[in-house]
Each structure stands twice: as C-alpha cells, then as structure tokens.
Structure 1
Amino acid sequence: MEASPLDYVAQACADLSAAISDIDNDNERNSLITSHIRKVWSTVPAVADFEKQLEWVNVPEPLSLQQCASKIVLLDFWTYCCINCYHVLPDLAFLETLFKVEDGLVVIGVHCAKFPNEKDTENILAAVKRYGIHHPVVNDSNSTMWDTLGIKCWPTLLLLGPGNKPVFVLTGEGHREELIMYTRALINHFENKISHASLPTDPLAHIKAEKSEFLSYPSKLCLNPFYRGRAEQPFLAISDTGHHRVLLTDCSGIILKIVGGPERGSKNGKFHEARFDSPQGLCWLSSSILVVCDTNNHLIRAIYLDEGNVDVLAGNGKQSEAGDQGGKCLELQSISSPWDILLYTTADMDMSVRPSLPPPPPPIPGSSSPDVQEIDDKDDTEKDKKKKGELRRVLIIACAGSHQIWAVFLDNTIWWKYKSYGQGTCVRIAGTGAEAARNSAYPITAAFAQPSGLTLRNGPCPEIFIADSESSSIRRLALTTGHVSTLCGGDKNPMNLFAFGDQDDIGVDAKFQHPLAVAYCEQNKTLYVADTYNNKIKKVDIGLQKVTSLYPVMIETTDLVEFAEPSGMSVSLDGKYLYIADTNNHSIKILNIAKNVCQLFRVRMPEAKFTEPDNLVIYKNDLFVNRKNGSLVIHFNVSLDSAEFKNVKFTPGAPQNWQICIRDDESKDVTSEHFEFIGCTNKGTKLPGRVEMKLKARTDKTHYRFYLSFHTSLCEKTCFYHSFTVRSTILVRDSVKMVESYKITCKVNPTTSRPDAKPK
C-alpha cells in the first residue's frame, strides 16, 4: 500500500524525536527541529478543508481551515468515550495559556466518533460542557477528515503550519513538552507568515450552568450500607461531577453535606475549602468515612464526616506511567484516572491450604515500597491461627486510565499467589496495561479496555463484575484466584474493541454500547448494567449469562423512561430499588425493581429554618376558615401607638409594602400552595384596609399560622422606615361559615426604628 502524506510526516516526526532525545544543547535541538519544519512543510500538500454543513460547538458560526491559513493550527482528533483523549485535554488547555489565537495558534477539536451514540452533536456538547473544553469543536460525524488523512487512532494531534500544511503528528497521550516545543518553533519560524488577528470563537456560548437542574452530570452514586434511619445520617452519596463536588443526602433527597465545588481543583481541607476535578466512583469505608475517586486529579480522596474535612488516601496527584505496577505507599504511588471503587473484606487468601507469615510491619512514612513477600512453608504459630478469622479490608479500584484493576490494602493482607502486602500498599492486581479484552487465569496477564464500573458479588466464591466500557463487555474477576473471564458482551477476539450494539442475547452474543456501571442485587441474584450509550438499563441472569433490556415507565406520567447516558447505579439494601445516575438528564431516578417503574429522586437544598420576624404584633383571637374552600376576610386598622412620639406620622404618598405568609404546623410556607388571594396587591401608598383569601381545596390541616408583614415609611423631623408583622392563628373547621370576616386593629410602636431611639 502506498504511504500517505501523513505517514511521511509521522515517520519524519519519529526520526526527529529519536534524534533530539539525547541532545541537551538547546541550539542544536532547535536547529534539528527547524530543519524538520523546512523539509516537511515544503514537501507535504495542504490538508483539505472541513466538509460544509458540519455542526460546531464553541463557535458562533462554522470555521474553515481557509480562515486559519495564516495561523498555526492544532487539530485534535478525539472521541468523547476515550480516556486517553481526556488525558490530552489538560495539555491542550496549558498550551492555549501559552499561545493565544492572537499569538498565532488555533486549537480545533475534530470529533470522530467510535460509537454511534457519539455522533449526536448534543451528546458531544454534553461532553464539552462536562470537561470544560473551551476551544472550537467540529462534529466530523462521518469521519471524513479522519479517513482522508489516514488517521489510525484516538487521540491523534496534527500540527499544521501556514497554508494548512501538516508538519508534526503525535499519537496517544503524554506529549505536553513536545507540543510546547514544536508550537513555539513553528510560531518563531513562520513569524512573517502568521496573522495576529482574532477568530470568531465564543467559548462561553455553550459552557453555561444548567438553569433547571441542581445536579450537573451526576456520574456515580453509592447508598450508605451503614445507614440506620437517623435523620442526620447520610443515606446516599452522589458524585455531582459537572460541579466537581460530592453531595450527601437523606432518604428524601434533602442535601445534608456539600463537599467541594463548584470549580475544579485539587485541595484538601474543610468541606467548603476542598476541591475535586470530575469526581467519579464512591464507596463507604464506615458510617463516617466516604472514599472518592478524584478522577482527573488521579487521586483517591477520603471524606471524614466526623472531622468535617477531606484528605488524600492514595495517589500523589500524578498520572502513573505506562507499565507502572505499583507497590508503593499510598501517597507515593501514582495511579491513572480512577473511575470506580469498592470495598472488599476478606480473610487472608488460601489460609486453609498454605500457612501464613506474621504480618509485615506498616509502611514507614517516606519509604518507597513496602515489602512484598513470598510465603515460606513453616508451621503456624498460635498467634497466626487466631488471626485466621480476622477480615482484611481491600479497596478495589477500576483505573480506567491504565486499563487495569488496582488495590489499596488497608490492612496487612495475604493475597493471590500467597503474597503478603503491607498495610498502606497501593498496587496493580489485574491487567497488563494494554488496551484489550483478554481473559486469563493469571490476572496480571489479563487485559481490560477502560474499566469504568465495579460491583461485588459475595458468597463462597466472591467475584467482581466489571463494566469494561471500551470493549462493550461485562467482565468478571474471581476474588479467590484472580481468574478473569467475560460474562457477556464483547467478542471472542480479545483485540476486537468494536463488537458493540444493542442486542439482548446470551454471553458474547449479547451486545452493549460502552457500559459504564454495574450493580449486583443479592436478593434476586441479578446483575444490572447501565448500558450507557444505548441509554438503557439491562439485567443479566448470571447463571444463564442472559441479557434482557428493561423498559420502565415513569410513575408520574406512565411514559417510558428516556435515559440519557446513565453511568452510575446502586441497589438498596433490601434489594427492592435501583438508584440510577441519569447523567445527561442531570437527575437521579429510582427504579422499583419488582414493578418496573421509575420515579425521580429530587435532590434539593433544605428549606431555610424559619424564625419569627422582629417587631411581632400578636393578635390573640383565633381566625376561622371553613375546611371546604372557605374564605377569610380581614379588615385592618393600623395606627401609631405612642404618646411620646405623637409627632410621628405615616409619610403621605410614600411607598408602603406588605407581604402575606401562611405556614403550616411544620412551619413550611404554604401561602401559594393552599390559599388563593382575591383582589390583593402587596404595595401601594397606604397600608391595606382589607385582605381576602380562600382555601384552594379541602385540607386535612387543622390550623395555620398567619403572618402579615408591613414595611412602612414614617416621618417626624426626618423620614425613616419601620417594619412590623401581625401574627394570628387560622383554625380550619367544618362548622364555620363559608365566608368568615374579622376586624383587626393594630397599634404600632415605632421606637425600634426611629433614628434617635436608644436601644433598650
């Protein structure tokens, strides 16, 4: 096959990279880069322009490469399912801080979808919002430019010189320094050809907060397994990913704690000071400790509810390099994009078969690697025998960025192959790091493709089910042996990561499209799958490996539920309900498993605690209203009560405002919900003489509390404001008239507001 122009550029770039890799002299290195630019730019033809009628994001109108012919253009070929593409985004953002459009650099994201769901511009827009992408993005839905140029993988970065001629091509992630070096060289070399004009970009056009939803792209959620029904105890934890925070709610959806947010960052401290960057997976260590996958910061964070602060549990904030197998102490070990996490408790592995070593000592702070010891054949001591029944805590992590399963050993633990891991060790336990769907009886030789969801099945043979998103399959990891196999979806060929679809069937004949979450229900022995890009929830009969789609209806409307990329799930302790993070609908839904109906889990802030207003005038006589849509008419006579301040008057013609509020026996404001007001306004130039209100519908309430608050303008030598509130009780009865009428006389003392009044 004849090599394409881009193949020539790629080979030239590879030769350049090899040539400059061992050069420390800046002048010599720059000379080689300049020589490469001259040679390639004069040889390779220009890139063809974008097709017409393509849809764009972050621009007020479509761009063309012709508009950018006098610029250095960086084309980022990406797809929003790809974790490696997301790893490139911080590099692009950093590059754009160094080189603005006016300096000569234009960054354009060329979105070429892997999955059919990703071809929808609305879904691309959601990804752009979620990940804070500010440069222009074009939806090349048919991958025309990809095919024309012969692009082979995501992500591919193509730097164009003036005239849109390709000069540098980089594939994969981890090229920040090269991008900076090559971009600077291009701008310097083509200084006389570069325009410093701006372009019609509008990065804020689509990066706006949702108006109607409190949540923004909620991803993972986790019910509290230690919940005991206490009002102050968190019931549900939610990763509010788009707001870079974690929410803790009660069982009705009222928020008890907000941790982090609203902007992205990486900071420990008190809840309001802490910062996350796109948090994902959650799990409870105890009733007062919640663990969070701080995905874009490459950290595992712990939220300590009793202390009210956030700290790092594992990770050093740097993305682990390819081939890193871990084994260091918690805060010294790098990890890569942790996406989900769960807690597994176990006795030491294989203790009935092989003897144990005494537990190794805890890791020394600052040490680089705790000991990993092979078990020697020796007799158990009495002390060791007693420890056989103790449970060790292990955090299992789906590291999507390195395509592996990692573990954090919270206790000294003997694991597979009779290896002993010290308390505080963070290590890879499954997956080579290569992106594939390879099964194996030896976990470290297996391969995953962006594992993104975990759930635990306990029992005599415990195992973890894994949503292996890029292979569109559900994998299983046996926790007694480490054996990795496929439950359903995917393909028999481990290298085929394009075996996706929407097919209910058995085993590998069933098809998913980029599933991101799994949840196991012990009560009905069923696995639930968030089939994210099919916008579905599916269930799997594990014994038969049979996959079935669910078609629940909304209980409020009886319409079929329309999910939008659901990516998180958690089963209630009684196995009756499935809580679902409906990510692109910015909501949480509850599926009644037996009835196959959904209802909205309304996440909301608690109502402000009501306190009685100042300057309260209490009308001691009760008011009555008929339970069956009765009316209540109140005539007011308001006067000033003070011989001392007899010269104080209501200011003629000045604005006088008032507000009616009616509260129920729980102090909830039900003014507009329960009552209709007839012929009432809330402002004028004189206080109201008459208020008429009517019950909207029959009520079971027995009483309400009525507040009429006045804001008046008064004058003596100078004018000043005075506020006071009349309070009374409305009793609801069947036996009273349909229209009840009352006269209330209020004598107001302006002492508290008068300018020269002295405090008591």
Structure 2
Amino acid sequence: MTIRMRAPELTGRRWLGTGGRDITLADLRGKVVLLDFWTFCCINCLHVLDELRPLEEKYSDVLVIIGVHSPKFEFERTPEAVEAAVERYEVEHPVLDDPNLTTWQAYTARAWPTLAVIDPEGYVAANLSGEGHGAGLAVLIEELIAEHDAKGTLHRGDGPYVPPAEPESELKFPGKALALPGGGYLVSDSGHHRLVEFAPDGETIRRVIGTGERGLVDGGPDLAQLSEPQGLALLPDGVRAAAGYDVVVADTVNHALRGLRLDDGSLTTVAGTGDQYKIGAADNRTFGQGVDPGWYDGPADAVKLSSPWDVEWSDALGAVLVAMAGNHTLWTFDPAAARIAHFAGTMNEGLEDGAPDDAWFAQTSGITIDSQGRAWFVDSETSSLRYLQSGPAAGTSDTAFEISTAVGEGLFDFGFRDGLAAEARFQHPLGITVLPDESIAVADTYNGAVRRYDPETAEVSTLAQGLAEPSDLLVVPAESAEEPVHLLVVESAAHRLTRVAIPAHAQQVSGPAQTTSRPPTEIAAGTLHLAIGFEAPTGQKLDDRWGDPTWLQISSTPAELLVGGSGAAEGLARTLTIAPDVPDGVLHISARAAACDGDPVTGELPDHAACHLYQQDWGIPVHVDGAGADSLTLDLRGV
C-alpha cells in the first residue's frame, strides 16, 4: 500500500511574481505543482532554472512552478537581494521568499537544489535532489495529466504568475570587464545577453555586440547571440594571430567559449557544443567501472562544458585557464590548437588543496595572474581565495602544479572579518585582480566590499564598502604621480561601472565570522544506516550492463566525526559509524546513478540507448545526540 502524503502549506516572508497576492495550495488545486527549492549562489540551482524553462513553456496550462528561495548565505536573506536574483536570472514563475527555511523544513529538503512535485489533488507525488531531472519530470507530468484528466481533477488555464515591470538601464547585471589594448573596456552585459564596449571614461558606449536575445548564434555584432556571458580574456599577440580572434568569452549559460574578433565585432563558438557537460561517453569518462573518472583532453568543439564563469591567459600553462564553475573544475584551453583539457578538480564540491587531480573546488568564479605566473582565484561557495603555482617536479624535467588556499575554511564558513588570513572571512566573492604592489584585490560580492590580501603578511583588509554586489575589478593606472590608482568595479546589482580610489592604507573593518545556520539533523552515535532513494523515471532502467551503475562517496568535517564508512564505492546504501565524542559536524555525501532509455515494450536496453546521469552532493549539518536517529534516508529521485 502506498501512503499518500498531503503537501505541507507554503509559508514564507512574502511572494514575488504574483502581483502582491499570497498563494496557498488551495489556490493551486487542479494543477500539477512543481516546487523548486533554490538559492541564487548555487550553480546547480541555476542549471535547474534552465532545465525547467522548456517544461514551463510546454505545460503552461496545467503546470505551476513555484520557486522557494531558501538561502545559504546571510546576504541571500535580504529582500533586495532576492528581488535582484529573480530579475537577474529571469525567473518567470512565482517565488516564495523563505528566509527562515520554514517551507524548506516542512518538505524535509536537505540540499540545493531540491524539487517536489504535488499532484492536482494536493498530494506529494515525487521528491528529487540535484539537477538533470528534466526528462524524468516530463514523463511524470504526462502521467499526472493523464491520470487527473481521466478523474476530472485537472484544471487547465493560466497560472498565478504576474510579470513585474521591466527596468530600463544601459547595463543589466554586468558580470566581468576587460581593459582593451587601444584603451577602453569590454564588459559582459550578462542580463542583456551581450557585450558592451566602453570608451576609457567607462561611461560612453562605443558599440554593442550581440542582439540582446538569449541564444547561441555566431556572426557579426548585429547577428550574434549569447546567454549570460561572464569572463573575458585577451589573448597574447602571437596567439591571437594563430587563433584568428582576440578575446575569449565565457558564454556561461550556453556552456561554451566564444572567440571575439575586435576589428569587426564578430563572435565564433570555439569550445563546447552548447549542451551542459555531464558524465558520459563524450568526455572520455566511464561510469560503473570503479571511481577513476578519466580526464578529457581533445578537440574543443567535441566536448560539453558546464557553466564556464571566468577565463584568463596563463603563460605558465601556455593556455587559457577556465573556471568551470558548473562542475567545480579548472580546464585549459589552447586557442591556436583548438583543444581543451580538464586540468584540475575531481568534480567534488569543497575545499581540498594539493595536486590538480586531487584538489576540490567550489564554483571558481574569478581568476587573475600575478607577475610571478601564479594564478589566483576565488571559489565563491567556500568564500575562499586560493592560488595555483608551478615548479619543477622532483627528479624529472616536468613541471608540477600545486593548489593552495590563502583565505577560507569550507562550504559553510563565511563572514566579514579583516586580520590574519587564518581568521579572515569573505562572503561569496566573484571577482579578483592584482594590485600594483602585487597584493590581491577581491570583489567580496555578498559583503558589498572590495578586500585586499597581502601575500607578504598574510593579512586581509578592506578597501571599500557599500557596493551593490561587486563582481569584477580592474586596475586603472594613475594619470599622474599626484593621482591615486583606481579600481574599476563592476557593480553588478547597481547595473554600472564604478571607480574606487585605492587608499594609502587599508581601512580596517571586522565583523563576526558566520556559519550557515541550516537546522542540523539529529543522529545517534555509533551505527548510522544511510540509504539513497532512487527510482528511474518511467521508460528508463538502471544501466547495469557493465556492473553496478550507482556510486556513493562519503566524508565528514571534521574527519573525526566518521569512524567508519567513509570513502567511495558502488551502491546507494552504506553503514556509517559515528564518533560518540564529536558533538557537531557535516556529513558530505555524493551520490550518482546512471539510467538509460529502455525499449517501450520489453524494457530492454538497446545497444545505443540514450543514457542519463543523476547526481547530487549533500552537505548535511548533524548534531550527535543519544536520542538521535540511527538511519538517514535521502532522495536522489524518489516517487
């Protein structure tokens, strides 16, 4: 017998996209309702927004999507920030602002993103975690439509969404800026899906590149289309001549790199297929064959990418270093050879230093190169400043690379604190540049500040405050010895470029360090039975032709929390041993399952079946208590 659970009511601070009206589940009776629990810092949540757009359009008369914004960072709790995020990411459905995670807890969500489907009678029909559920959701929606059409409980017609007025500005949520060789600046006008070239004053527009419509179209400035472009990298002269273009553009939501020719403003797709990178045959990975993922190194137009966010030329690598925020990795792109390679990162989200193939990243969002060839970068989800340096490999003539962390602790530690690096805190930084004295300036986005890290003293100070989500920085040299050096700040949420003078000494500002305050899960010490629920969508089956197609990796912070059961292995169940003397910590759980389209009659898998990877990372705060649970069940895909 299947026990049907009545969907909990939707409770939060306020509603957006409803014309000022509150919505109840009773108002939505007769519709298929899809709740999308998201937070705007999360790249996986942004992927889901794009996955849901086709469903939203196809089933507009029967499907109502409700975004439930459940924040991770403190900044994401502010009403203005939520409003800006809904506008920035073109969310065209109602959004419930849930700053205290009230509805999040009612639906027992434990990860971003989480999806819940409610049938037309008000019962929960499915719970899903992570991204990549588009095809399965389409099947489930069709089933619910057929069932409730037959029962007479399906009501067709418009949903409750009321679009807000469209603001007018020359820029809309600009992302990154690039100083051009002949003077002036190129800015990725992310919200308008285009590039804008400014004169040296940073105010006069010289030209616009792109139609302003979201798309992936090559061609001249009046024909080309982009989708939320971000990073910009100027190539060295020799490389520009060999490649046939001047600037590499991270076309983030198109999952592509574009090449821009400055003389005529034409754009060409130079890396990526336009589809999002996931584990599959195209990237030379195997699944169900142990845990070694393999690393792609090949033609740039033959591999799927995942939300490239920033790009920077590196002489040490002889290539463009690409921050692949969507799967927490760094890649290298050789424009002259038209080749791209996965360079660093295991695809696990977190903060782990070491060799490129061991390191963990968390949405790398800004890169800069200092005079010594070190690549400095900010990982937004760990609020960290890190760097990549090279040196001779021991006993060989090869070059070895090492990733290190200057500032930052982990996924749930952030704040606004100056001082020694060990105690200093940022909050979701997105931009970075090198100052004339070789110190590092950080666009500390969610703190609305520009911060400075001094590598000589390992100290952090504050240069400027009161900015609206700064996302990138450029040094503007002084025009005379009497004039100060300025920073050109891309003030994203204010839709403008702002000049900030670099003071003679850093302004000292300190505040409390913070930790994400998600309610912890109460567990008992000793044996903890972990199970990941997964049910393949109708028409798919687990691909077990080459072994177990499921995989689970588990670790903890602190490491002492887990006495047994950590590590990676096949299967979606694990028995863990929890230490009795560690009262609080975080369980890091990563799960994957591969399912393929089966024959609609026999269910058998054909030789060339289309396959789908379902994956999700959880970081679950736990409190160890004698009365806590001895089991933990999570849904990768549960119906």
Deviation at 1:503, TM superposition (A): 1.0
Maintained 8 Å contact 1:60/1:200: no
What letter is aligned with 1:50? L
Deviation at 1:56, TM superposition (A): 2.6
Deviation at 1:105, TM superposition (A): 1.3
1:454 and 2:372 correspond: no
What is the match of residue 579 of structure 1? 488
1:324–1:58 Cα change, 3 Å = farther
Deviation at 1:329, TM superposition (A): 0.5
1:400 and 2:301 correspond: no
1:53–1:152 Cα change, 3 Å = closer
1:91–1:573 Cα change, 3 Å = same
What is the match of residue 281 of structure 1? 231
- RMSD over aligned Cα atoms: 2.1
Mapped partners of 1:236, 1:588: distance in 2: 10
What is the match of residue 215 of structure 1? 171
Give the secondary structure class of the aligned counterpart of 1:444: coil
Deviation at 1:53, TM superposition (A): 5.1
1:485 and 2:396 correspond: no
Deviation at 1:596, TM superposition (A): 8.3
Match 1:591 to one of 496, 500, 505? 500
Mapped partners of 1:142, 1:342: distance in 2: 39
Deviation at 1:162, TM superposition (A): 2.6
Maintained 8 Å contact 1:222/1:569: no
1:587–1:514 Cα change, 3 Å = same
Match 2:189 to one of 220, 224, 240? 240
Deviation at 1:535, TM superposition (A): 0.8
What is the match of residue 474 of structure 2? 570
Maintained 8 Å contact 1:60/1:201: no
Structure 2 residues not aligned, in runs of 5+: 238-244, 280-292, 392-399, 479-483, 507-639
Deviation at 1:291, TM superposition (A): 1.5
Maintained 8 Å contact 2:213/2:225: yes
Mapped partners of 1:81, 1:261: distance in 2: 27
Give the secondary structure class of the aligned counterpart of 2:201: coil
Give the secondary structure class of the aligned counterpart of 1:90: helix
TM alignment of 1:589-738, pairs within 5 A: 589-594=498-503
Mapped partners of 1:580, 1:173: distance in 2: 33
Deviations 1:583-625 (A, max 9, x none): 001110112224689xxxxxxxxxxxxxxxxxxxxxxxxxxxx
Deviation at 1:433, TM superposition (A): 0.6
1:425 and 2:339 correspond: yes
Mapped partners of 1:424, 1:586: distance in 2: 34
1:137 and 2:51 correspond: no
What is the match of residue 315 of structure 1? 272
What is the match of residue 262 of structure 1? 212
What is the match of residue 141 of structure 2? 183
Maintained 8 Å contact 1:55/1:139: yes
What is the match of residue 464 of structure 1? 375
Mapped partners of 2:230, 2:18: distance in 1: 26
1:298 and 2:258 correspond: no
Query: Which structure carries more relative contact order (alpha carbon 8 Å, separation 6+)?
Result: 2
Give the secondary structure class of the aligned counterpart of 1:302: strand
Deviations 1:693-740 (A, max 9, x none): xxxxxxxxxxxxxxxxxxxxxxxxxxxxxxxxxxxxxxxxxxxxxxxx
Maintained 8 Å contact 2:66/2:94: yes
Maintained 8 Å contact 2:94/2:160: no
Give the secondary structure class of the aligned counterpart of 1:218: coil
Mapped partners of 1:81, 1:445: distance in 2: 25
Question: Would you tell me which structure has more strand in proportion to its own residues?
Answer: 2
Give the secondary structure class of the aligned counterpart of 1:445: coil
Match 1:66 to one of 8, 26, 49? 26
Deviation at 1:508, TM superposition (A): 3.1
1:152 and 2:110 correspond: yes
Deviation at 1:52, TM superposition (A): 6.3
Deviation at 1:132, TM superposition (A): 1.2
Tell me which structure has the larger Cα radius of gyration.
1
What is the match of residue 694 of structure 1? none
1:106–1:543 Cα change, 3 Å = same
What letter is aligned with 1:145? T
What is the match of residue 73 of structure 2? 115
Aligned identity (percent) is: 33
1:94 and 2:54 correspond: yes
1:124 and 2:63 correspond: no
Deviation at 1:563, TM superposition (A): 0.7
1:186–1:268 Cα change, 3 Å = same
Maintained 8 Å contact 2:7/2:124: yes
Give the secondary structure class of the aligned counterpart of 1:483: strand
Deviation at 1:301, TM superposition (A): 0.5
Deviation at 1:308, TM superposition (A): 3.5
Give the secondary structure class of the aligned counterpart of 1:193: coil
1:475 and 2:386 correspond: yes
Give the secondary structure class of the aligned counterpart of 2:493: helix
Mapped partners of 2:309, 2:232: distance in 1: 9
Maintained 8 Å contact 1:475/1:484: yes
Maintained 8 Å contact 1:326/1:334: no
Give the secondary structure class of the aligned counterpart of 2:321: strand
What letter is aligned with 2:198? T
What is the match of residue 195 of structure 1? 155
Mapped partners of 1:345, 1:525: distance in 2: 17
Mapped partners of 2:12, 2:256: distance in 1: 43
Deviation at 1:79, TM superposition (A): 0.3
Mapped partners of 1:99, 1:163: distance in 2: 18
1:534–1:53 Cα change, 3 Å = closer
Match 1:497 to one of 411, 436, 448? 411
What letter is aligned with 1:504? D
Maintained 8 Å contact 2:209/2:265: no
What letter is aligned with 1:77? F
Mapped partners of 1:81, 1:324: distance in 2: 29
What is the match of residue 37 of structure 2? 77
Maintained 8 Å contact 2:18/2:160: no
Maintained 8 Å contact 2:270/2:338: no
Maintained 8 Å contact 1:60/1:205: no
What letter is aligned with 2:371? N
TM-score, structure 2 length as denominator?
Answer: 0.71
304-313 vs 269-278, greater mean Cα deviation: 304-313
